[in-house]
Amino acid sequence: MAKKYFGTDGIRGKVGEYPITADFLLKLGWAAGKVFAEDGDGFVLVGKDTRISGYMFESALEAGLSAAGVDTRMLGPMPTPGIAYLARTLRAKAGIVISASHNPYYDNGIKFFSVDGMKLPDDVEHHIEEYLDMPMTTVESSTLGKVKRIGDADGRYIEFCKSTIPTRLDFKGLKVVVDSAHGATYHIAPHVFAEIGAEVIAMGDEPDGLNINENCGATKPQYLAEKVLQCQADLGVALDGDGDRVIMVDHKGEVVDGDELIYIIAMSRQKSSALSGPVVGTLMSNLGMEHALKRENIELLRAKVGDRYVMELLTSEQGVLGGEGSGHIICLDRTTTGDGIVAALQVLAEMHISGKSLHELKSGMAKYPQVLVNVRTESKVNLDELEGVKTAVAAVEAKLGDRGRVLLRASGTEPLIRVMVEGEDQDQVTSSANELADEVKKAIVA
């Protein structure tokens, strides 16, 4: 059954526009509280990123949870993976994240983690939606939920991050630029890398509620690249607003994306016999990663786009490593969700153990040119019914052979058909993508 409010990654939208409003968040807190209260006593963690609307929404959630008779523990600014970790280790009934991840400050959203640090199952989200459609009530005053703040949350999560690599590794002499995107890791990431011995140059660590993800972080790594070259650093680490994504930059100022980082971690795990199951990417993962892993007898499976689907496939296939080119990397042998800091630490550990630079480690994988063309549509289009498009796709696939691929898919968030072509030759890929986009446009008009 389709969900009314929850998407693939919680509930997200523009602040002030339904459902990202104070009154809806009040009701959501109450509805979630009613569901969590069914399992007995306990408390719910609430954390947020640094966008200005977080103050409003944490108060609304707190009030709703209290009305449902559920205690709340406030974390303040805390990365999404930090909230997942604390929900697990503090045995909370759930962890609630107030964040719109890599989006601008004027967006916000809500996502939930269960006591095991994983996203809530579909049936629990459905149950919350059932309460959202009921009238809101308040428990008797003596049973209202109480609120406390957890003062040592930052330190707990910092220690956890450091524990994901061997303590014998000392990074003294390594110069690292850390870009926290003026987001939830601003008071955590610089400390993590400094406490393992690296010299840290911090940027994106002065949030004002409005500058989250603005010309910084994992979505704009060119600014980190400039800083790495300017400071003659060994590498740079760029996180996004809620800390669940990472993009890195090598000492030459070259961007190292999520696919390349997954490749490096996979090679490291295989070398130490710690890689079990397949590596899981998505339909958009670069073909160069698939071929590089195949050379090492490592299987790549492709999930639908979205970390939720990567996690589902990892779990069903008993894998330990997966993620997306955007930098959302899941190391299930270290934690339960995508974690930018933890993923970066795995790469640093491999640099230390191998004695190789980040530039050298990524050189085993050659990224294939990938061209994406968006075709806007007026209404929903069933690609399977467009015979002319299917014929054109088959022709391009025959031309590319096993050294390229074609992907056409409807966007899940916009009225768009996404046409992606990937292959070894940039000119061939570009012309093929444009040809297919033209075929889609003709078919839609017809």
pLDDT class of 380 with cuts at 50, 70, 90: confident
The whole-angstrom separation of Cα 141 and Cα 133 is 24
**Cβ atoms 176, 236 nearer than 8 A:** yes
- Report pTM: 0.94
pLDDT class of 444 with cuts at 50, 70, 90: confident
First to last CA, the chain: 33
> Over 80: is that where the pLDDT of 381 sits?
no
Coil, strand or helix: which one is 337?
A: coil
Coil, strand or helix: which one is 251?
A: coil
pLDDT class of 443 with cuts at 50, 70, 90: confident
What is the reported pLDDT for 96?
A: 98
CA distances from 64 to 38, 52, 442 (A): 16, 20, 51
What is the reported pLDDT for 413?
A: 63
Task: Render pLDDT for 178-189 as a digit per residue (tens, 0 to 9).
Answer: 999 999 999 999
Class of domain 370-445: alpha beta
Task: Render pLDDT for 52-111 as a digit per residue (tens, 0 to 9).
Answer: 999 999 999 999 999 999 999 999 999 999 999 999 999 999 999 999 999 999 999 999
What is the reported pLDDT for 179?
A: 98
CA distances from 191 to 96, 211, 281 (A): 24, 21, 30
What is the reported pLDDT for 382?
A: 81
Query: Do 11-151 and 370-445 agree at the fold level?
Result: no
Active-site hit among 101, 180, 268, 326: 101
What is the reported pLDDT for 446?
A: 64
* Selected residue with higher pLDDT from 445 and 170: 170
Strand-strand pairing, 279-282 and 300-303: parallel
CATH number of 11-151: 3.40.50.720, 3.90.180.10, 3.40.50.880, 3.40.120.10?
Answer: 3.40.120.10
What is the reported pLDDT for 97?
A: 98
What is the reported pLDDT for 213?
A: 98
Break the chain into its structural domains and give their ranges. Answer: 11-151, 157-362, 370-445
pLDDT class of 412 with cuts at 50, 70, 90: low
Task: Render pLDDT for 114-162 as a digit per residue (tens, 0 to 9).
Answer: 999 999 999 999 999 999 999 999 999 999 999 999 999 999 999 999 9
* Selected residue with higher pLDDT from 71 and 409: 71
> Cα 78 from chain centroid?
15
Task: Render pLDDT for 258-316 as a digit per residue (tens, 0 to 9).
Answer: 999 999 999 999 999 999 999 999 999 999 999 999 999 999 999 998 888 999 999 99
Class of domain 157-362: alpha beta
276 is catalytic: no
What average pLDDT is seen over the chain? 96
- As a whole number, mean pLDDT of residues 182-204 equals 98
Task: Render pLDDT for 5-46 as a digit per residue (tens, 0 to 9).
Answer: 998 889 999 999 999 999 999 999 999 999 999 989 999 999
